Amino acid sequence: MGEGSKKCTKCGEVRLLKEFHRSNKVKSGRRSECVECARVYREANKERSRLYKKEYREINKEQIKIKKKAYRMANKEKISDRNKVWRAANCEEIKERKKYYRTINRAFVNNKKREYYRENRKDILRNWKQNKHKWRGSIVSSQARYRAKKLNAYPSWADKGLRLQIRKVYDNCPEGYQVDHIVPLQGRNVSGLHVPWNLQYLTVKENMSKGNKFDQS
């Protein structure tokens, strides 16, 4: 037996060292059975090994969770890079999967909602009547946003922050007042934007008499 070879304890053949799997559990650094014998063993015990692994995972659930988390914390950048590469390579597939997921879920969620509504119709309606005033700002502001979008008066750079600012204006509208666009969205000469600094409170009467007029003086 030369330096670079050893005898397999299973099949008894003398083989090159590279034909034995590496292992840091044995002194020699190589497993005692050859690659081929290991493969045969794996094949023969596939099912048993699967069950064993499953059971192991089940028993050690908590430890595995902790270990995985520690690994993620220690390798944040590596993982994020790997994910980026993977996403880039699979971008079409991901898109398809997301689309599928949305459709499936939309149907599921809508069904649940419908079911809930059918069962609780009376309570929902009563609740709605009692609390309508609380949602008034939200309803009116989303209607206003919808209208502004149609008139191309909703800025393209608007983000969530701006939307919330506008919402606040509508939420805080005093009783008997309406939110008015200082420069109308659809003015005769100039058109304003649906932004917080173009909003003011007017009484219903003032608002009616103002119409789409904007005094430019």
Overall size of the chain counted in residues: 217
Angle among Cα 215, 183, 199 to the nearest 5 degrees reads 125
Q: Which is nearer to Zn ion, 40 or 195 (CB)?
A: 40
Q: Which is nearer to Zn ion, 12 or 161 (CB)?
A: 12
Q: How far is the CB of 36 from Zn ion (least distance, A)?
A: 5
Cα 41 to Cα 89: distance, rounded to the nearest angstrom: 36
User: Residue written as tokens 């502004």?
Assistant: 148
Cα 15 to Cα 1: distance, rounded to the nearest angstrom: 9
151 beta partners = none
Exactly one of 6, 20, 37, 181 binds Zn ion (CB under 5 A); which one? Answer: 37
Residue ranges in 90-197 assigned as alpha helix (H): 91-119, 121-150, 160-171
User: Is residue 34 close enough to count as binding Zn ion by CB under 5 A?
Assistant: yes
Q: Which stretch binds Zn ion (CB under 5 A): 30-38, 100-108, 114-122, 133-141?
A: 30-38
Q: Which is nearer to Zn ion, 6 or 167 (CB)?
A: 6
Residue 203: strand, helix, or coil: strand
Q: Which stretch binds Zn ion (CB under 5 A): 35-43, 104-112, 119-127, 172-180?
A: 35-43
Q: Which is nearer to Zn ion, 19 or 180 (CB)?
A: 19
Binding site for Zn ion (CB under 5 A): 8, 10-11, 34, 37
